[in-house]
Each structure stands twice: as structure tokens, then as C-alpha cells.
Amino acid sequence: MTLGALIAIYLVQLGAAISPGPAILMAARTGLRDGHRAGAWLSVGIGLGACLWAVTALFGLSVLFRAAPALLSAMKIAGALYLLWFAFKIWRHAPDPVSDGGETATPRGPLGLIWLGLSTQIANPKPALFFGTVFLTFVPPQAPLWSYAAILLIVFFNDTGCAMLVSRIFAFERTRRAYLGLKTVIERIFGGLLALLGLKLALT
């Protein structure tokens, strides 16, 4: 396992981590609604979810998905239903005051935020195929054990860092004040985008 291969994995995976998706959307909403500290804990869950998909790819789940497309389709539908359910809740409770929270209030405790980030990330099984492709391209079959630890560290650093950056941008006080003035509209935009991502997951 060469340094060049690790750098290539870092750059390719960084591009995947920053690409718009349910996890990035949730990081933006959490930073906007609950501040950067909540967004940071959520980001840890997003990073752990990415590592989970990377581990499944290392153990051959991406190969299983290719051999049994029906399994991937079932997981995509399950993930899409989860995203659509959450999008409906966001849309329905958009007019609720922030102080009331409603059913879509972000979990306040660190563990609840980590779980929200993790569950949002694992609702999309496509990263398993992405990681499988990356590993087949850059990781030799007899790679040393330390290289797998290094790859997982890269995955966690990239996904957590990108989500934290997004939540930080949306957590600025001026941005949050604008959110409070347009809460219903903004929440319904978030809900609509999350629903579109769920539909895209189910249909592609």
C-alpha cells in the first residue's frame, strides 16, 4: 500500500463526502436550527456511518450487491422510505415554533445527535458500492492491516469534517436569525429536498 494510493483514496473520497446528499442536507439543517455544537455531534454520526459502509465494502457487501441486485434494491427502498418519512415530518411541523420542537426537533443529547447522523448516513446504501469500487481500484488484495485502519481514518475525517464545515456555515448568527424569520418556508424547502433525495434513491 503506497502513499500515492492513500492520497488518491483521500481525494476521491473527499469529493464523495462533500457531494450533496441526505447527510449534508441534515448537517445544514441541524446547524441552522440548533447551532454548530449540535451540528458537530451530528457530523460524528455521519462520519461513523460512512465508516460502517466502508467496512461493509471491505468485507464484500458491495460484491454481494452486484451479485444480488434485488438486495440492493430492497435496501434502497427501505432507505428511501426512511428519508421520505422524515421529510414528511419536517414539512408537517414546519410551522411549529422552535421552542416547541415538534416531532422533528433535533435530538439535544450528543448520543441522539450521533444516532441521527448515523441513521441518515446508513439510509443510503450507495456508498457501499462507491467504497467497493475505490478499494478495488486502489487497495491491493494483500494490503497490510494498517492500511485498512488508515483508510477508515480518512473516511471518518473526510465525512465528519465536511459535515462540520456545512453545519458551521449554516450556524452563523446572521443566518440563524434569517431562519427564524422564515422558518416555515425554509423547513419546507429542507423537507422537499429530503423527499427528492429519497425519491432519487428509490428510482436510481
Instruction: Dump pLDDT digits (tens) for 116-174.
Output: 999 888 888 777 777 777 776 777 767 788 888 888 999 999 999 999 999 998 888 88
What whole-number distance in Å separates Cα of residue 198 and Cα of residue 102?
Answer: 22
183 in Cβ contact with 175 (< 8 Å):
no
The DSSP code for 172 is S
Note the pLDDT of residue 115: 92
DSSP codes of every residue in 132-171: HHHHHHHS-TT--HHHHHHHHHHHHHHHHHHHHHHHHHHT
| pLDDT at site 94 | 66
Instruction: Round to whole Å and give the CA distance between 25 and 28.
Output: 5
Cell digits for 6? 492513500
> The dihedral of CA 25, 28, 32, 37: what is its sign?
positive
Query: At 118, which helix (H) or strand (E)?
Result: helix 110-122
State the residue range of the domain holding 51. Answer: 3-203
Q: Which residue has the cell 432519487?
A: 200
Residue 159: per-residue pLDDT: 93
Per-residue pLDDT, 64? 63
Write the Ramachandran bin of 101: left for phi over 0, alpha for psi from -120 to 50, otherwise beta.
left
pLDDT recorded at residue 101: 46
User: Is the CB of residue 16 less than 8 Å from the CB of residue 92?
Assistant: no
Count up the domains in the chain and report the number. 1
Amino acid type, 26? M
Which stretches of the chain score pLDDT less than 70?
Answer: 1, 61-68, 71-72, 93-94, 96-108, 136, 141, 180-181, 183
